[in-house]
Amino acid sequence: MTDTELRVSKIENGTVIDHITGGQALNVLAIIGIDGSSGEEVSIGMNVPSDRLGRKDIVKVEGRELSENEVDVLSLIAPAATINIVRDFEVVEKHRVTRPKTVVGVLSCPNANCISTEDEPIKSRFDVLDDGVRCTYCETIIRDSIASHISAA
């Protein structure tokens, strides 16, 4: 995309999450715990044209460098996402997201009897499988619509 076609302006310092599966930008924000309430400057493009993906979403967070660990859980809903760290308007680091082995405190278990959903100080914990995630405590498996089980917001 040339500069004249930019829909969302460049950022000075922060993180650009690019090549997000079309339509998943709001779920991406929920996963990384950004809802605008603490004043973060966030730009979102949804379903913008992409050579590689056809349509993609893009999220730009000014003033925050998100770590690889923070964003790896995004791989569950946006496996092709790239994380660009920007300083002084230049991309200084570019990473692909990688699938984590476990996901702690981000998804909630759909099993109402699961110890992680009761009034206990226990964070949810899921093991990542090839085709979904499995609750470490009760072994319930989530395969479809993982995004609808996001608890972080």
Q: Which among ligand CTP, Zn ion, none contacts residue 138 (Cβ within 5 to 8 A by kind)?
A: Zn ion
CB atoms within 10 A of CB 45: 16
Interacting residues with ligand CTP (CB under 6 A): 10-11, 16, 18, 58, 60, 82, 84, 86, 89, 91, 94
Q: Which among Zn ion, ligand CTP, none contacts residue 136 (Cβ within 5 to 8 A by kind)?
A: none
Q: Give the 3-state secondary structure of 14-68.
A: EEEEEEEECCCHHHHHHHCCCCCCCCCEEEEEEEEEECCCEEEEEEEEECCCCCH
Q: Which among Zn ion, ligand CTP, none contacts residue 60 (Cβ within 5 to 8 A by kind)?
A: ligand CTP
User: What's the closest the beta carbon of residue 90 comes to ligand CTP, in angstroms?
Assistant: 6
Name the nearest CA neighbour of 78 among 18, 15, 152, 144: 18
Sole window of 24-32, 45-53, 108-116, 142-150 interacting with Zn ion (rule: CB under 5 A) = 108-116
Name the nearest CA neighbour of 18 among 66, 33, 40: 66
Q: Which of 114, 133, 147, 150 binds Zn ion (CB under 5 A)?
A: 114
Q: Which among Zn ion, ligand CTP, none contacts residue 48 (Cβ within 5 to 8 A by kind)?
A: none
